[in-house]
Structure 1
Amino acid sequence: MKTVLFTLFLFTKAFCAPEFGERARNFSIELLHYTQLETDGHVVISPFGVWSLMTGVTLGTTGNSRNQLVRAFLLPNNPTTLVDGYVNLTRTVLDPSTNGVTLSSKNFMFLDTGFNIMPEFRKTITGDFGAMIQNLNFKDSNAAQIANNVIQNTGASVSNVLRSDDFADSRMILTNVISFKGLWSTPFNVTDTTVEPFYDENKNEIGKVNMMFLKTQLAYSNLREMEALVLELPYGDDGKYCMLIILPYPKKKVTDIYKKLAENSFPEIFKRLQRDVDTYGLDEVNVKLPRFKISTNVVLNKPLNNMGVYDIFDPNLASFKKATNEDIYVSAIVHKAEIEVTESGTVASAATSAYFADRISSPNYQANRPFIYFVMEKPTSTVIFSGIYSKPSIF
């Protein structure tokens, strides 16, 4: 039995239906939870990229393989509903009309010589998912280079997405390349950036960071039920995209706060932010945020196992009968992501009084201890990139 490798590469660089979008964002929370367990807590991933890729994969499966994916990725059972929902959500999330934001998602399918896929699966992958299909000789030592050239020739801002080892035992490789470049609506002033200490949740210094500073009017809320402060940093000129930062109270761990997202959804958080803006007006917030770069390279097999996806990884149980007549299974789902956050934008211990003050003076939002961040498309609350910053470094 041959294997099929699903590879996912995400890259960000500095300088819908709402009901269907809910499926993607709920999956996002669970995926980050299990992925951070594999990466010692310091991580960036693209839940939307993973979800997009695996939604396409689901259409090629049958039996328990399909049932497990449907449950884990919160997909509708009806294939037509699934495809229509995916198309509408993707069109909304990837809307290019926002000035200051560039966002694209591209799908690729590479097939080994002599490997055939079902006509209906090909039609859906190319038509509805916009995938480019390329036939290659996987035994050719130049296969990876050829595939990478195909990806780059479409305008992708990444290189060396695939390696020679990826082709060794594979017959089909699906790849999603998603990129985001967002300029802050109000950029940080480079001259205000200084080296400052970074602490753990118990206020023990664990390193230094280049701490950026910004004082401007922003949506800000004290979520006592989550024991965290939430700040919205918008990109571009229309508020469609933003970075949502969740900063735990002192002595509260990021992992504990993250679990509370199950009871406090993103739409509810945005409603709370808007309600506070309506009540108090936009706060002039003193923001301190590390300039940072995080790269993650993780195999998602185990996180997906924890989410109930098993059969597609088992040579004896995997069923891809809607994709091909050949016996294949998934050897690995490789996720590579990178994010840079600087004074211009993203490419993906405050005083106790600041946590309980009721808008009397300018609040301080000092992200000088571990925090959670989400790069989001706000109208659908779709998480494009997400991660945890917990290991300080000078960048």
Structure 2
Amino acid sequence: MMKCLIVFIFTVATCHAEIEFSGRVRNFSLELLHYTQLETEGHVVISPFGIWSLMTGVALGATGKSKAQLERAFLLPGNQISIINGYQNLTKTVLDPRTQGVQLASKNFVFKDKGFHMLADFKKTLTSDFGAKIVELDFKDSTTAARIANTAIEDSGATVSNVLRSDDFGTARMILTNVISFKGLWSSPFNVSDTNIEPFYDENKKQIGQVKMMYQRAMFPFSNIQSLNATVMQLPYGDDNKYSMLIILPYPKIKVTEVYKKFTIIPMNDILNRLENDTKEYGMEDVDLKIPRFKISTNVVLNKPLNNMGVFDIFSPKLASFEKITKEEIFISAIVHKADIEVTESGTVASAATSAYIIDRISTPVFEANRPFIYFVMEKESSTAIFSGIYSKPSVF
């Protein structure tokens, strides 16, 4: 199971002074994961799609440099109608509920102080175009406000609890929250009896811990991509391959960060196309697959990662410009992202290499994720990363 929540806290400012849409999300996802892992010592799960969804709504309320910086970082077109249409079409594709064995839901909330005046056009955009639920609260009674807000989030079906604290309402005027959850059963589940405790290594084959390693031999899309210095495996969920987990395993002696840098020249679409082409050329064949059971929880403030992506003004009381949201002077004090992922036998409940490692297609390929790896939970049609992360700190789960 995977679930995550993004919270944007808008605070009063006391100082007066076109590329296809799924490609935008895909490219933003890669960059955001890179900068977020720097804040979490390289062991992380985030929901790029959830973050992107709500920040897109925020961008529609921004003006001036605040708007320009958000558009650059989130790869948004300058035209509001293009943003709304693109968002709605992509969301419809990504959140399509028809796949048997997959549950996926995303919900946006706006908690506003009863004395805070939101402009009618922006309120309409949030509710009509982004499906947000607006809840008016008395932020001065912060304890009650937190209780009501958390109840609203939990009543939406979210499995996260106590998301907002009373402190969050202290100087805030508006709090935007996105909750997204994913539960997927593997198309080819692992047998629990084949799971064993095994060592987990760093990239130099030094043991750094132990994991419960799951095993199966089955047919999966699989590629050895020398230009990426990694092997790639795709594990489908449900009954129609619409959703899958993509695992990118660096070659021995290659760090995760080295592979990650190559995403700047090797787009995600190229990786997915390579998997598809190899499957067509070689056919589906058995792979000996080993991946750890794992659970990762992340609670990270995204201000610094977004600073690294060129977003500054929205966090400054002097510089933030949200003239389409309100006539008050407000800024974003924090963007808090909470996410977790759980991978078990049944599913997910949320060329520097030596030539000896170049894998051929004659013998049964072996994919053993017993060292740090990158993972993405993808929607296939749009190639959108719903969740992404890096597994680098082993634990027996």
The alignment's TM-score, normalised by the length of structure 1, stands at 0.94
The letter for the 2-side match of 1:43 is: V
State the alpha-carbon separation in 2 of the partners of residues 6 and 77 from structure 1.
24
Of the structure 1 ranges 272-281 and 303-312, higher mean CA displacement relative to structure 2 is found in 272-281
Distance apart, 1:6 and its partner CA: 3.9
Task: Give matches, 1:192-341, under 5 Å.
Answer: 192-341=194-343
The alpha-carbon distance between structure 1 residues 322 and 355, as it changes in their structure 2 partners (threshold 3 A), is: same
State the alpha-carbon separation in 2 of the partners of residues 205 and 154 from structure 1.
43
- What does residue 139 of structure 1 align with? 140
State the alpha-carbon separation in 1 of the partners of residues 299 and 124 from structure 2.
31
1:354–1:364 contact (8 Å) kept in structure 2: no
State the alpha-carbon separation in 2 of the partners of residues 86 and 228 from structure 1.
32
Q: What SS is found at the alignment partner of 2:41?
A: coil
Distance apart, 1:356 and its partner CA: 1.5
1:85 is aligned to 2:86: yes
Distance apart, 1:279 and its partner CA: 1.2
1:382 is aligned to 2:384: yes
Q: Deviations over 1:27-72 (max 9, x none)?
A: 0000000000000000000000000010000011100000000000
2:8–2:332 contact (8 Å) kept in structure 1: no
State the alpha-carbon separation in 2 of the partners of residues 301 and 353 from structure 1.
42
State the alpha-carbon separation in 2 of the partners of residues 72 and 355 from structure 1.
37
1:6–1:330 contact (8 Å) kept in structure 2: no
Distance apart, 1:259 and its partner CA: 1.0
State the alpha-carbon separation in 2 of the partners of residues 297 and 24 from structure 1.
21
The letter for the 1-side match of 2:59 is: T
Q: Deviations over 1:334-373 (max 9, x none)?
A: 000000000000023xx97883232111111000000000
State the alpha-carbon separation in 2 of the partners of residues 150 and 91 from structure 1.
23
The letter for the 2-side match of 1:120 is: D
The letter for the 1-side match of 2:264 is: A
- What does residue 344 of structure 1 align with? 346
Distance apart, 1:323 and its partner CA: 0.3
State the alpha-carbon separation in 1 of the partners of residues 257 and 210 from structure 2.
22
Q: Deviations over 1:230-255 (max 9, x none)?
A: 00000001010000000000000000
- What does residue 366 of structure 1 align with? 368
2:7–2:337 contact (8 Å) kept in structure 1: no
Q: What SS is found at the alignment partner of 1:177?
A: strand
State the alpha-carbon separation in 1 of the partners of residues 210 and 19 from structure 2.
41
Task: Give matches, 1:10-21, under 5 Å.
Answer: 19-21=20-22
The letter for the 2-side match of 1:96 is: P
Q: CA RMSD in A?
A: 1.6
State the alpha-carbon separation in 1 of the partners of residues 369 and 130 from structure 2.
38
Task: Give matches, 1:84-163, under 5 Å.
Answer: 84-140=85-141, 141-163=143-165
1:44 is aligned to 2:41: no
1:229–1:355 contact (8 Å) kept in structure 2: no
Distance apart, 1:223 and its partner CA: 0.2
Q: What SS is found at the alignment partner of 2:223?
A: strand
When the two structures are aligned, how many residues end up with a matched partner? 381
The alpha-carbon distance between structure 1 residues 274 and 18, as it changes in their structure 2 partners (threshold 3 A), is: farther
- What does residue 174 of structure 1 align with? 176
Q: What SS is found at the alignment partner of 1:107?
A: strand
State the alpha-carbon separation in 2 of the partners of residues 294 and 329 from structure 1.
31
- What does residue 31 of structure 2 align with? 30
Q: What percentage of residue pairs aligned between the two structures are identical?
A: 66
Of the structure 1 ranges 287-296 and 162-171, higher mean CA displacement relative to structure 2 is found in 162-171
2:313–2:320 contact (8 Å) kept in structure 1: yes
State the alpha-carbon separation in 2 of the partners of residues 276 and 229 from structure 1.
12
1:41–1:390 contact (8 Å) kept in structure 2: yes
The alpha-carbon distance between structure 1 residues 88 and 354, as it changes in their structure 2 partners (threshold 3 A), is: farther
Q: Mark the runs of 5 or more structure 2 residues left unpaired by the alignment.
A: 1-5, 10-17
State the alpha-carbon separation in 1 of the partners of residues 356 and 132 from structure 2.
49
Distance apart, 1:151 and its partner CA: 1.3
2:150–2:162 contact (8 Å) kept in structure 1: yes
The letter for the 1-side match of 2:296 is: I
The alignment's TM-score, normalised by the length of structure 2, stands at 0.94
Q: What SS is found at the alignment partner of 1:279?
A: helix
Q: Mark the runs of 5 or more structure 1 residues left unpaired by the alignment.
A: 9-16
The letter for the 2-side match of 1:28 is: S
Q: What SS is found at the alignment partner of 1:225?
A: helix
